[in-house]
Amino acid sequence: MNTTLPNTSPDRSPSSPAYQAFRILQAAFIAAPILAGLDKFFHLLVNWDQYLPAVVSRHSPIDGHQLMRVVGVIEIIAGIGVAWKPRIFAWVVAAWLVMIIANLLLIPGYFDIALRDFGLLLAALALARLSQQFARLT
């Protein structure tokens, strides 16, 4: 009777499909939050202020445009965090996407973008799980 256990250690070689998926998702969640965060200041991609529901704007202690700049700073930090500590910051990005989805569901006409961001949420969760195996512990 064979009592040896199968090799369950993750293949960290660059040719491993799981490792490649981890690196692809990590690169995506470094670039996308940083670029979107920076664009909150420049509005080159879109006027981000349109994604702020009136109910949030009414209850915010700062005006909507300044609030979106705060959002941009948080996104930049999240992207840098995914580069630095993906085991932690992939979960931060996932939580952030949950809040973005909830925000978009408060605005009629943006449900398609909420659905797209749900796909991004699933990708962030996949990165968080893959990070458990492939990200350094330091």
Residues 6+ apart with CB under 8 A from 133: 10, 18, 22
Residues 6+ apart with CB under 8 A from 98: 121
The predicted pLDDT at position 14 comes to: 83
Provide the whole-model pTM: 0.88
Any long-range contacts for 91-95 (C-beta under 8 Å, 24+ apart)?
91/128, 93/29, 93/33, 93/124, 93/127, 94/121, 94/124, 94/125, 94/128
Cα angle 104, 108, 113; round to 5: 40
Q: What averages of pLDDT result for each successive group of 10 residues across the chain (138 residues)?
A: 60 87 98 98 96 92 95 98 97 98 96 98 98 78
The predicted pLDDT at position 10 comes to: 67
The predicted pLDDT at position 21 comes to: 96
